[in-house]
A = this chain, B = another copy of it.
């Protein structure tokens, strides 16, 4: 583009030709303005790799490439083999086997303006919560975890009122009937991100029951992400916590 404009300036290319050629420049050239601006906005957002459909070699390659651009890289749904290879190459990589999260976390600046509360209905939901936790941490948040507070023991949840009300954003992970976000949503004035988990059997239909429950929540401050999508919840909560 600069070359073209230099020629315009020098009178070597007339204005009509220049317009014509500008209109046909490939998008990526013109678009870098957007991309750079975008990147600026995205400061503090780690590079993320979805490990599931890749080989360990592919993951290692991608991580090696990304870590140069950004100190923080997150691989979700990584296998033990992926973790083994990446940790071989990057000794500061951390692997969380329950969720399959794999993290290189070098830039530890706090970017969130408050705490994110991470509430979990049962022990089976912990892997999903772990993925949310790892994500929110690497995106610069302090996370306050509250575990094993299913709605059938409402007093346990109630005893965490103070913690919940302090949070700027709340993430709720629950399987089975997925009722926790409704109760929590009624207790706080903060946005609540509900994560249905596939915990359950029979008519839970791999998390469908929890998903539908959360979408139909009678608490107005609840929004929902995909079943088992702890990463998405951690990510969205992090963006909210930066507001």
Contact = CB atoms under 8 A, between A and B. Distances in A.
B121 A218 contact: yes
Contacts of A203: 207-208, 211-212, 215-216, 226-227
Contact of A183 (B183, B214, B228): B183
A29 B203 CA distance: 37
> In the complex, which range does the number of interface residues on chain A fall in?
35 or more
- Number of copies of this protein chain within its complex: 8
10 contacts: A2-B19, A28-B158, A151-B183, A154-B154, A175-B216, A177-B182, A179-B183, A202-B216, A202-B228, A213-B213
Contacts of A161: 26-27, 34
Contacts of A212: 177, 203-205, 208-209, 212-213
A52 to B, nearest CB: 7
A202 B207 contact: yes
B221 A216 contact: no
Nearest to A211: B203
A95 interface: no
Given A151-B179, A183-B183, A225-B215, A23 B32 contact: yes
